[in-house]
Structure 1
């Protein structure tokens, strides 16, 4: 019995030592990569079905867009520090886990489509709650399910330009909009991806009217009746880049319709 006890203690000590050693290696990897000013530390979890696309809609208001390409499987809910009351919607990030025993060297690119306000995302933490598909993509080939079994992971992240090849900026007219209350959602914005301000201009006017940020990625203006066609001007939140889409909303626009411009920001 005494010999068995000694063997158990020795085995227990060895396991503990290996666990501590693995944690130290991962910590060193995080420290080395975070020394690059472009990468910052955070944590990550996943939600939805294991191989699924994440949320059905989300707090940004993109609705069914999150279920189809190019957003499909790139969905990310972020903590309030990155969500920024919805002004962070549409921003793109690269997220990478660093445990070389199970994580690949590649980062997954995600688009902010949702907010995770509680649990892992509270207390001012920088946290990514990814779709099961996006989370699994950080793994070595064949280790996707094992990585998801880890639960919460230490990760590093950085902003990256949004890229929607073959797409121009589009404006979705939200349900309930009228000639006196117009609500718009921006889609497929290359580059910064986020919106800091929006203005519209009526066809008969030279004045840009400021829209108000309502929630998520939704902007609205009250007044009118508004006379179309309407031009829309975007200013990005991150770098203040400006794009003006002339007469993009037609005179006979309708709620729930999407109108595509001929322009986009440079993704660079």
Structure 2
């Protein structure tokens, strides 16, 4: 009987520990507390958001890469030198600090696609400020346009994307450059690996934003390519043989999803 009670106690303890550990490992970001106090938002790129295209993450045309206008440029405190590219945030206007918040205090979800440099916007993007420079359609979904710069509360949330991760191949036979887009889950790739069907896995080096490079391996052309993406929550996503052996530079391929 004593042994049975001990076994049940150990099992209960293990279940509690599992419940505490799993959310962080799963990267769901469920239960993430709202952060505020030093966070603000405004908008840029014009009413039609045309000025938000391109940007420091390398995503180019945000419509063709699937991000649309649900985007933001982040201050340096959040941008993390580009490693936060692809992460998703939920924002709410802080009605305790602004009269311009929309009734009902709605929230929006955006993907980090650009960098708001320091010494711009009157210092709103300077460290240690947490600032979101939104596309105009997103800003007016939170507050009246006349609000200018508004206080916000924010939190990390899972990225929900249609289809798989996308890998655009650029470069030349001696320099392979891969742009990773449409990443679900944590959203922000921290490390990318590439594998040919005749090689092992090679770690790629981040060039800028979500552009990853492999240099000195001229044997990749002519091989089917696989990718392994490591996200900020530790999730590993393998996309095996997504590019056939006859792939060409500038082509886009879709793989697995987080």
TM range (shorter): 0.7 to 0.9
Distance 2:127 2:80 in 1: 15
Distance 1:226 1:233 in 2: 18
1:104-123 to 2 correspondence within 5 Å? 104-118=104-118, 119=120, 120-123=124-127
1:1-268 to 2 correspondence within 5 Å? 38-41=33-36, 42-52=39-49, 54-64=51-61, 66-68=62-64, 70-99=66-95, 102-103=101-102, 104-118=104-118, 119=120, 120-139=124-143, 147-165=144-162, 167-174=163-170, 177-205=171-199, 207-227=200-220, 228-237=223-232, 239-261=233-255, 263-265=256-258
Report the aligned-residue RMSD: 1.8
Larger radius of gyration: 1
Aligned residues: 216
Unaligned runs of 5+ in 1: 1-35, 140-146
Calculate the TM-score normalised by the size of structure 2. 0.79
Q: CA deviation at 1:125?
A: 0.9
- Once the two structures are superposed, what CA deviation does each residue of 1:148-189 show, in whole Å capped at 9, x if it has no partner? 211111100000100013x11110113xx1121101011111
**SS of alignment partner, residue 67 of structure 1:** coil
Greater shift, 185-194 or 36-45, is seen at 36-45
- Once the two structures are superposed, what CA deviation does each residue of 1:91-134 show, in whole Å capped at 9, x if it has no partner? 00001102285424221111000000122101321100000001
Calculate the TM-score normalised by the size of structure 1. 0.76
- Structure with the largest fraction of helix: 1
Change (3 A) 1:52 1:170: same
CA contact (8 A) 2:95 2:105 kept: no
Relative contact order, CA 8 A, sep 6+: which one is greater? Answer: 2
- Once the two structures are superposed, what CA deviation does each residue of 1:239-268 show, in whole Å capped at 9, x if it has no partner? 11001111112222222211112x211xxx
Distance 1:256 1:82 in 2: 30
